[in-house]
Structure 1
Amino acid sequence: MGKHATEEQRAASEYLGSLDDSLAPWVRSTGPIDAYEMHLPVKVRSPVEWFSFAIASRQLSRAAATAIYNRLVAQLGGSITAERVIATDEQTMRRVGLSHPKARAIRGLAELADDGLLEQDKLAAMLDAEIQTELVAVPGIGPSSAQMFMMRYLHRSDIFPASDLGVRAAVTELDGLGKRITPKAVEQRSALWRPYRSYATSYLWGYTWELHHPAAG
């Protein structure tokens, strides 16, 4: 990323790389990164659309999730809005390939958005913990989905998905632990990386990827 890095990206890299910590050498060798890059195969223009794709993707291949999402967009007239979801019965939503729990979760998000709780100005004024509390109250939305939304869509810099297997695998390897670190322990471990835990998470994911896809020769 080099000279194209933002001030926040450089600050996160410098801070995390300066720590007396097992992650620091990897941060220094990698340099600044974009912790918020989503790499989505579809265009999302609102929280409802972001969550609709995230929910459709659960336990499915990216290709299958993309097909279902695009069918849902077409079914709803070209975009997924709170009003259109609420006006559509569940049977119609399930015809595009959504399961009952997924259709219910998307409807719950739409109702939250319709109440104004997912408006950008409202979200900007809320703490991370407040947003997570609102989201996990919706059936079908768990902590990990809420955390990914805050990190990838809202670009919050201090989100840490302690239950994520990739994060835990990376910390286990970096710290030379005999068995995989628990979510509770890795949450405590992450305190050192504040206020850039979203960046630490992305560095950890990158480290996990490198472990399983080492550069050839």
Structure 2
Amino acid sequence: MTMTRTGKRATKEQHAAAEYLGSLDDPLARWVQSTGPIDAYDAHLAVTVRSPLEWFSFAVTSRQLSRASRLAIYARLLAQFGGAITAERVVSTDERILRDVGLSHQKARTIRALAERVDDGLLDPDELAAMTDAEIHALLVAVPGIGPSSAQRFMLHYLRRSDIFLAGDLTVRQAITVLDQLNSVITPKGAEQRSGPWQPYRSYATSYLRGYMWELHPAVLPAHG
């Protein structure tokens, strides 16, 4: 998987992020300079999602599954709900039916819990837009089955927040380890501390780091990179 380079199509934010990260006295800077502006938010999803609930439904469905399995189960889930996953449809559907499309008990419970939050207005896009990163993170991790990583990926890829750093992502940590010439893979806590200089464009730093591994060191990537 490669980064989405934007080149002449780059937005002001994409230019600003590339210029800032490329100007730092930091091992990442040379890679940023050679790559140029990118779309940090492109999640390379194999499906189209039209709401926070659909984004999370696909993310939850995908956990620990091969590409073929996640796409097949999600397609059955969409079909079960008539082509669109809405809070009303999920809440009114028996969990057994969710299990029948291929979801585990835990995944079915998580999607239902999210739907209940949406039904209560707690994942309204307009309300999310007015909240800080910290407020959104706290709101999401309070939902059973949604951890910090899922919350961060949602804020980065769906809400397109510019300063989200995936410190727990193994590919990101491997990239830091290679660039900084460390003897062992940096810990999530260490990666979080290391990300300080990349503020306020840590979403971009995340994508540059992942791209560095995808394109230059694919042989050492984790199985689900």
TM-score scaled by length of structure 2: 0.93
In 2, the alpha carbon distance for the partners of 1:76 and 1:143 equals 28
Deviations 1:26-52, CA, capped at 9 Å, x for gaps: 000000000011221111100000000
Name the aligned partner's letter for residue 145 of structure 1: S
Corresponding position of 2:104: 99
SS of the residue 1:23 aligns to? helix
Q: How does 1:61-210 map to 2 (within 5 A)?
A: 61-210=66-215
1:117 positional shift: 1.2
Deviations 1:52-83, CA, capped at 9 Å, x for gaps: 00000000011211111110111112210011
1:155 positional shift: 0.2
In 2, the alpha carbon distance for the partners of 1:164 and 1:213 equals 15
Q: Percent identity?
A: 71
SS of the residue 2:203 aligns to? helix
Task: Report how many residues are paired.
Answer: 214
Pair 1:15-2:4 in alignment = no
SS of the residue 2:149 aligns to? helix
Name the aligned partner's letter for residue 14 of structure 2: Q
In 2, the alpha carbon distance for the partners of 1:209 and 1:68 equals 27
In 1, the alpha carbon distance for the partners of 2:7 and 2:171 equals 26
In 2, the alpha carbon distance for the partners of 1:150 and 1:63 equals 25
In 2, the alpha carbon distance for the partners of 1:200 and 1:187 equals 12
In 2, the alpha carbon distance for the partners of 1:143 and 1:17 equals 28
Name the aligned partner's letter for residue 185 of structure 1: G
1:120 positional shift: 1.1
In 1, the alpha carbon distance for the partners of 2:70 and 2:218 equals 25
Corresponding position of 2:31: 26
1:166 positional shift: 0.5
Name the aligned partner's letter for residue 28 of structure 2: L
By relative contact order (CA 8 Å, sep 6+), the higher-ranking structure is 2
TM-score scaled by length of structure 1: 0.96
In 1, the alpha carbon distance for the partners of 2:216 and 2:196 equals 24
In 2, the alpha carbon distance for the partners of 1:188 and 1:213 equals 25
1:161 positional shift: 1.2
Root mean square deviation of aligned Cα:
1.0
Q: Which runs of 5+ in 2 are unaligned?
A: 1-5, 220-225
In 2, the alpha carbon distance for the partners of 1:133 and 1:53 equals 21
Deviations 1:140-194, CA, capped at 9 Å, x for gaps: 1110000000000000000011111001000010001111111111101101000
Of 65, 68, 76 in structure 2, the residue corresponding to residue 60 of structure 1 is 65
Deviations 1:110-151, CA, capped at 9 Å, x for gaps: 011111111111001111111111111111111000000000
Name the aligned partner's letter for residue 155 of structure 2: M
